Chains A and B, each alone.
Chain A
Amino acid sequence: MSNFTGIRGRVWFKALTGQEKSMPGDLSSVLATDVSIGDENARFLCVVPDPDSRFPCARHGEVGLEQAYTLAARIREVIAADRSGKKRPIIAIVDVKSQAYGRREEIAGIHLAAAEAADAYATARFAGHPLITLIVGQAISGGFLTHGYQANRLLAFADDDVLIHAMHKEPAARITRRTVAQLEELAKSVTPLSYNIRDYAKLGLLYRLLPVSNLEAPSPEEISLVRNAIVEAIADTRKGPTDLRNRFESADAQIARKATRLIRARLAEQWNQ
């Protein structure tokens, strides 16, 4: 499955924008363009694999140093350009297998590169840019924190090959001293452990789970369904606050994130006592 990481990102970037290229001077692994969606222009961003990346640990769809800084620059460019005008939506298309795991990356401070991208995304959101993330494949760990997880609204495809998680199954099992079978069994009752996108949806973090199954060759109907969902998410975002409170105020979160809500209530209550 992970062999296909990045293919869907490119497919959906092309399906929604009609293009599949980087902006002038950018890496080939960061696709970016401005095209219209609904009745306005939006910036689309996507990280795709670059088998020739000069960073060997960032050749298979990982988000590495250069991808993170390119995202940060392309987002900050939008913030600056729209400073006094209407805030353009930013659409992040996500199919990233992880952050880049390399020695060079750590020496050069990949944590800061990732922070720069997350900062740019969050800053755009707080400035009023509707930030919508469309998860079309994998959205794993630091890769997702860097590219996509700061969005006002998260959309994902209801397909078994769509995966949002803190760590891939095998290493997660090893580190928690379990077998993969044990982890899978536990995940049936412990929702945040699950690798199934429908379980993830129960956590209340997603805005919509979309019925798309042709991930690598979408039908015109599917493309139009996704486009409409994005337009709807943009409109919904513009009506609400710019922070991430919808993630623990949603109907599903009121069930799945009871402890989060309890802590928030208790701290608020005791803050000025």
Chain B
Amino acid sequence: MSSAISSREYLQRRSFIELDARTRAKSLFDSRTDRELAGPFDRIESPWLPLQGVTPQADDGCIVMRGTIGGRQAVVIAFDGAFQGGGIGEVSGAKLTSALDLACRDSQEGKPTSAVLLLETGGVRLQEANLGLAAVAEIISSIIALRQYAPVISVIAGPIGCFGGMSLAAGVSSYIVMTPEGRLGLNGPEVIEEESGVEEFDASDRSLIWSIYGGQQRYNQGLVDVLVDDDANQMIETVRDLIAQGIPEVHRSQQVDLYRSRITALDTSTQWDPAVVLWSAASLARPTGRDQRPTDDKKEHHQ
């Protein structure tokens, strides 16, 4: 999907990543159907940041919009990576959970409402520590509740990526969409270097970082459903198609045996070369005799 494109196409395309969070959210809806809820004019700000001398933001870095996408009811929740690194605080976390719960209620009442999460987040906002962590636990629960009735789509487009507890939220989603510019992981490079040492992870090694967390790698591993270029039109079409596709037969995070068997098959006696694309269709087609390459070739993702 990220095939080479001509320079003309490149110049003509409209970047999705360069849009701010509110514009990204708005761009996904059918024209003039979008409406922002608990927006900046409601001024529900973090009660905890001012106590620490940090300026809050009127939307707490989280935008909730509802409307229709491809004629179907949907709610989009977009995180603003420019505010506190998209970190989950009490208010932004409650916005997401509450939107998911309302979509779930409508869906149970026969009005299926999909949720699209535009994730640009390093995880829990440390200035709200325990309430951020609690919010993430509630977000995970509410995604799992909603996805029985309507798909939950996580989009990881920009370079902030999706880390920390929110990587679990992406993990339990119905579908994950990434661009090659996006990154996905539980622990970021700096945290690993700090906790386990520079031999374990050199956080200044950009190519190492991208070869582990980057959208292309995650797609090749089958940990992501769709890889799209940074193109607003492609992103809109992708989201619309996934909503139309509905709930997958089985969610990725329900497939314990499949993913567990991959881990069991790995040789951990030496540090891994991240250039080796674990489990990819390509690596299965061109075996090099490395032990750590499992033989499971089931097509597990839902594309």
Is residue B160 contacting chain A, with contact meaning CB distance below 8 A?
no
A54: which of B46, B195, B268 is its contact (CB, 8 Å)? B268
Q: Report yes or no: A106 in contact with B187, Cβ–Cβ below 8 A.
A: yes
Main secondary structure of the interface of A (DSSP, over half): helix
A145 touches B165 (CB 8 A): yes
**CB of B57 within 8 Å of the partner chain:** no
Which residues on the A side are within 8 Å of B127 (C-beta)? 176, 190, 193
Question: Once bound together, how far apart are the Cα atoms of A104 and B184, in whole Å?
Answer: 14
Contact status of A190 and B52, CB under 8 A, knowing A115-B168, A126-B145, A267-B99: yes
Contact of B144 with A126 in the complex, beta carbons under 8 Å: yes
Residue of B nearest to A71 (CB): B256
Chain B residues with CB under 8 A of A1: none
CB-nearest residue of chain B relative to A98? B195
User: Cβ of B201 and Cβ of A72 under 8 Å apart?
Assistant: no
Contact B165 A142 (CB under 8 A): yes
Task: Give the number of residues in B that approach A within 8 Å (Cβ atoms).
Answer: 82
Whether the Cβ atoms of A114 and B186 lie closer than 8 Å is yes
Q: How far is the CA of A210 from the CA of B257 in the complex (A)?
A: 37
> Which residues of chain A are near B268, meaning CB under 8 Å?
54-56, 104
The answer to whether B259 touches A106, judged by C-beta atoms less than 8 angstroms apart, is: no
Which residues of B109-165 are within 8 A (CB) of A? 124, 126-138, 140-142, 144-145, 164-165
Interface residue range, chain A: 35 or more
Chain A residues in 8 Å Cβ range of B200: 57, 101-103
**Closest chain B CB from A72 CB (angstroms):** 5
**Please, which residue of chain B has its CB at the minimum distance from the CB of A109?**
B223
As a 0/1 sequence over residues 81 to 104 of chain B, the CB contacts with chain A under 8 angstroms (1 = contact) are 000000000110111001101100
CB within 8 A of A166: which of B129, B141, B172? B129
Q: Which of B37-61 contact A (CB under 8 A)?
A: 37-38, 42, 44, 46-48, 51-52
Known: A116-B253, A244-B138. A102 touches B48 (CB 8 A): no
8 Å CB contact of B168 from A111, A192, A259, A267: A111
Quick one: closest A residue to B208, CB to CB?
A103
Q: How far is the CA of A195 from the CA of B141 in the complex (A)?
A: 25
Say which residue of A111, A113, A205, A271 sits within 8 Å of B263 (CB atoms). A113
- B124 vs chain A, min Cβ distance (A): 5
Known: A102-B196, A104-B272. A263 touches B168 (CB 8 A): no
Q: A141-B164, A262-B44 are known; give 7 further A-B pairs, CB within 8 A.
A: A54-B268, A73-B257, A112-B171, A123-B144, A167-B126, A266-B38, A267-B95
